[in-house]
Structure 1
């Protein structure tokens, strides 16, 4: 969680300095969801991500140096510097890609789940998406398909309260997104997405069900992004007081307090871990800054499979 936060806060700073181009969507505040869910997976499982995908990639174990290189447009990046923030992927590792299309990750996860089922493999696909993607038609299509075919897919909705600037209260009918699972004959649960262990417990149950042939599940993790929708978001649709209320439930601070209470870590240990995470991220971007950019003639490479 500390690495994810340090990475995105650094990227935010670099954008402000004009050193990173394009766009980026920050995961600051939502770290417990990616870490909690992905910590229940094992080698061979896969994930599909969103435009807000840095946290998923880091939690899944992707190389931070290559991620930094990609955001700085360097040839050593995951997409050779041509994809940027929204397209980091490592298919060979099981990270089937961040996705600039809202809801685009859902169909890909179903495809992976279908492949696993056809081959008789006990592998699981986890699909991350936001509350805004619930309004897309593919939400219904993917959940229905996964249910009727008993696909080993875990759908994880990161309900961070806003689809760009539209709040869930204004955009969504019903109390909970997880309630929609019943329409597709699958389990649905809402968890505190600011509580690492609560997310992990829900994910462990859903992943176990999928791996055992029990079909898909829907997890709604109620969370919050501290920063704007993207680097260009002026945050005019919400108050500082609202943001501060959510910051008081910070997932990193809460888990650190639990570890201190249980005697696993002392306060100095937490501070040392934070310094180490920030140092690791600084090193990654310092290294990336000195790397070569893609050659112009490479512009049309990797366009078609």
Structure 2
């Protein structure tokens, strides 16, 4: 095997100078994602969650950097690794945790579980169990935004749709078909490839003839941007530019965020395929620690302030578990509810 193909060089991006409140908001959101997923692991191994649970540890800079740059009116399509995307979009931790517990109070009424987090109230269009499923949905979401503006003459700004997917998905047909449609119709959609280097147990460089995914945008005539997915400020910077293009009617952007998951593919994965050397190299790039260091070293906040945010987030997570534990199970007689629109 060619060892050179395993070396990932993270690009440098010019970042926007953010104020203290924004930096602390980003830090808190990333912590929320990390601590939520850590708690999910605990609850899964205690038998409180069932099925496949895919955690997001390590990739928080992508979710926070992208979604926290959006407006409330904007939409997000996720993958089966969807918990943290939902949290960043504003879905309350209580509702996400209850959904993972299969409780009636969950955001999908306990019917969706880990891979099908959904919240119409937050324009979170769902997690999808099969790779690539969310991309056509995102195209539809972006199309309705243009249709409402151009044909129905609705006031206001164009709503932007962000679609997340992994590196493995970019070898599937939906990816190429939807890039073509998005450019053809100048849809306000941002395609975000979370390239965590592994498609389950397949190393990225072994599964594609063109490992630099962002360059595939050239074939369809849209901008392709590569960014350090372990740096929330870099991700936020390229996202703000992509949102600006989309909202002004200039069409889609493809962002490839180079990142890494700190856990196995799912909680059922013993994670034996990746080398310890590789994992340690990426752990040293922890995006949360990087932002914390940036905030502290540039005197935006003291250690005391940052530690208080940690305590605040941990309490939120504890509260979400207590909420889920105390919530009722769905009733057997309601088994066929929510199958049709009139049930809602």
Q: Which residue of 1 aligns with 2:110?
A: 81
Candidates 281, 289, 292, aligned match of 1:253:
289
4+ aligned runs moved over 6 Å, structure 1: none
TM-score by length of 2: 0.87
Offset at 1:115? 0.6
Mapped to 2, the partners of 1:192 and 1:62 lie a distance apart of 26
The root-mean-square deviation of aligned C-alpha atoms, in Å, is 1.0
User: Is the counterpart of residue 57 in structure 1 residue 93 in structure 2?
Assistant: no
Question: Aligned partners of 1:231, 1:111: CA distance in 2, in Å?
Answer: 32
Tell me if 1:9 matches 2:61. Answer: no
Answering whether residue 296 of structure 2 is matched by residue 264 of structure 1, we say no
Moved more, 133-142 or 117-126: 117-126
Q: State whether structure 2 residue 215 is matched by structure 1 residue 186.
A: no
- The corresponding residue for 1:20 is 49
For 2:291 and 2:115, the matched residues in 1 are separated by 28
SS in 2 for 1:101: coil
Distance 1:103 1:95 in 2: 16
- In terms of mean alpha carbon deviation, does 190-199 or 271-280 score higher? 271-280
Report deviation, 1:241: 2.2
What is the deviation of 1:287? 1.9
Of residues 188-197 and 85-94 in structure 1, the stretch that sits farther from structure 2 once superposed is 85-94
| Per-residue deviation, 1:203 | 0.4
Query: What is the aligned length?
Result: 305
Taking the aligned partners of 2:77 and 2:116, their CA distance within structure 1 comes to 11
In the alignment, the residues of structure 2 paired with residue 228 and residue 102 of structure 1 have an alpha-carbon distance, to the nearest angstrom, of 17
**Aligned with 1:11: secondary structure?**
helix
TM-score by length of 1: 0.98
The answer as to 2:311 corresponding to 1:275 is yes
Which residue number corresponds to residue 191 of structure 2?
155
Q: Deviations over 1:113-142 (max 9, x none)?
A: 111111115111110111111111100011
Shift of 1:274: 1.5
User: Which whole-Å CA distance do the structure 1 matches of 2:159 and 2:220 have between them?
Assistant: 22
Q: Which runs of 5+ in 1 are unaligned?
A: none
Q: 1:55: Cα distance to partner? A: 1.1
Please report how far the alpha carbon of residue 14 of structure 1 lies from its aligned counterpart in structure 2 after TM superposition: 1.0
Structure 1 residue 43: Cα displacement: 2.1
CA distances 1:137-191 after superposition (whole Å, capped 9, x unpaired):
1000110110111101000000011110101111122241000000110000100
Please state whether the residue corresponding to 2:179 is helix, strand or coil: helix
CA positional deviation for 1:194: 0.2
Corresponding residue to 2:231 among 195, 199, 202: 195
Q: Which of 119, 143, 168 does residue 148 from structure 2 map onto? A: 119
Partner residue in 1 for 2:65: 36
My pick for the range that moved more, 275-284 or 102-111, is: 275-284
2:182 alignment counterpart: 146
| 1-structure distance, mates of 2:116, 2:251 | 28
Q: Which segments of 5 or more consecutive residues in structure 2 lack a partner in the other structure?
A: 1-29, 150-156
SS in structure 2 at match of 1:118: helix
Tell me the CA shift for residue 41 of structure 1: 0.8
